[in-house]
Amino acid sequence: MNKLVCIACPAGCEMILEIKNGKVISVKNNKCPKGSTYAAEEIESPKRVITTCVKTDLSVKWLPVKTSSPVPKEKLFDFLAEISKIKISKPVKAGDKIAEKLLGFEGIDLIAGRTIEI
């Protein structure tokens, strides 16, 4: 018996999962259909949005950034290593793309979390 708390909606259901060979076979105690989908994704192909900071040469030393979409959990440290190489030397606006296609992943861009001027 495996337990997992669902975060797909505010209910926070404590689901009971049956897992076989890395695949979710059954989900119990979820109050909505989102729980089954969340459980399958979390067990079979977990992903996370990365939120961190990059260095700048501007008035503020650090710029908060995040990935535009979740990254595969097993590649998390590869993405962080790539992000750590980035240094901002020009003004940016919140929402600007800082980098595109991180590690060659289509649709995973790095987005500025705030506006920084010179």
Fold of the CATH domain 51-112: CPE0013-like fold (3.10.530)
What average pLDDT does the structure give for the chain?
Answer: 95
State mean pLDDT over 22-35. Answer: 94
Q: What percent of the chain clears pLDDT 70, i.e. is strictly above it?
A: 100
pLDDT of amino acid 3 = 96
Full DSSP string of 55-92: EESSSSSEEEEEESS-EEGGGHHHHHHHHHT-EE-S-B
Question: Dihedrals φ, ψ of 81, to 5°?
Answer: -65, -40
The answer to whether residue 55 scores a pLDDT higher than 90 is: yes
- Choose between 38 and 118: higher pLDDT: 38
Q: What does the domain layout of the chain look like in residue ranges?
A: 2-45, 51-112
Q: pLDDT by residue (tens digit) across 2-16?
A: 999 999 999 999 999
Q: Are 88 and 57 in contact (CB under 8 A)?
A: yes
Q: What is the pTM of this model?
A: 0.81
